[in-house]
């Protein structure tokens, strides 16, 4: 069973529907025992980093997620959920993240040519930089759906796949059993579902 952590951040309807369509059992839950006993964890998230990090702390999830990562439980952060895995974020101020992956989060603004629009929104190609079991069902150059204005930096060694958008945007990152995806696999058609299927089989 996959536990989708419910901490009041984001619409989890598509994510749970996409897992169910794959025949994968999942539950949206904020219950710590349920999360601790799940086989795998997904940390979703949309909105602002500072808010979301505070909500995670308020509901006592930070310690639990760190503990589960220590136990090598597969954890997947999606979009803002991926950014929360890093040490810090500089999205409107400075904020502390979960620190499960080395690196930080900064704005695309000022880092990409002016003719490129922010947010980075739409279908972009994955450039697979390493081999990993998460790529079991996808190929070099498959497209995923991105929506974000901030991106991960200082994490080259932990980056499995990039997307090119004026800069090399880390699209899939990994440290131990912890994965992060900057795009929305649950909105990326058949290829996105293929990544979720691979995660469920890790």
83 binds another protein (CB under 8 A): no
- 122: phi then psi, degrees, rounded to nearest 5: 135, -165
User: Do the Cβ atoms of 35 and 64 come closer than 8 Å?
Assistant: yes
User: Do the Cβ atoms of 185 and 193 come closer than 8 Å?
Assistant: yes
145 binds another protein (CB under 8 A): yes
Which residues contact residue 176 at a Cβ distance below 8 angstroms, ignoring those fewer than 6 apart?
69, 72
Pick 158 or 188: Cβ nearer another protein: 188
Task: Please name the residue ranges forming H helices in 59-149.
Answer: 61-70, 80-83
Q: Segment 169-188, which members bind another protein (CB under 8 A)?
A: 186-188
8 binds another protein (CB under 8 A): no
Candidate residues 60, 119, 140, 156; the one interacting with another protein per rule CB under 8 A: 119
189 binds another protein (CB under 8 A): yes
Candidate residues 86, 150, 165, 179; the one interacting with another protein per rule CB under 8 A: 165
Tokens of 39: 């086989």
Residues within the interface to another protein (CB under 8 A): 11, 13-14, 17-18, 20-21, 46-47, 117-125, 143, 145-147, 164-165, 186-190, 192-193
């Amino acid at each position: 069973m996959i536990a989708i952590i419910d901490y009041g951040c984001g619409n989890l309807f598509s994510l749970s529907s996409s897992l169910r369509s794959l025949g994968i059992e999942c539950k949206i839950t904020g219950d710590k025992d349920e999360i601790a006993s799940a086989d795998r964890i997904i940390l979703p998230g949309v909105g602002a980093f500072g808010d979301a990090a505070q909500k995670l702390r308020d509901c006592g999830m930070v310690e639990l997620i760190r503990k589960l990562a220590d136990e090598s439980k597969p954890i997947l952060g999606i979009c803002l959920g991926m950014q929360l895995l890093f040490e810090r974020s500089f999205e409107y101020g400075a904020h502390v993240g979960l620190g499960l992956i080395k690196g930080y989060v900064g704005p695309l603004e000022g880092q990409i040519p002016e003719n490129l629009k922010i947010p980075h929104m739409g279908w972009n190609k994955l450039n697979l930089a390493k081999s990993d079991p998460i790529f079991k069902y996808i190929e070099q150059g498959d497209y995923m759906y991105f929506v974000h204005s901030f991106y991960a930096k200082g994490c080259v060694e932990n980056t499995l796949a990039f997307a090119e958008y004026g800069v090399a945007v880390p699209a899939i990152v990994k440290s131990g059993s912890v994965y992060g995806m900057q795009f929305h696999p649950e909105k990326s058609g058949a290829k996105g579902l293929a990544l979720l299927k691979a995660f469920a089989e890790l």
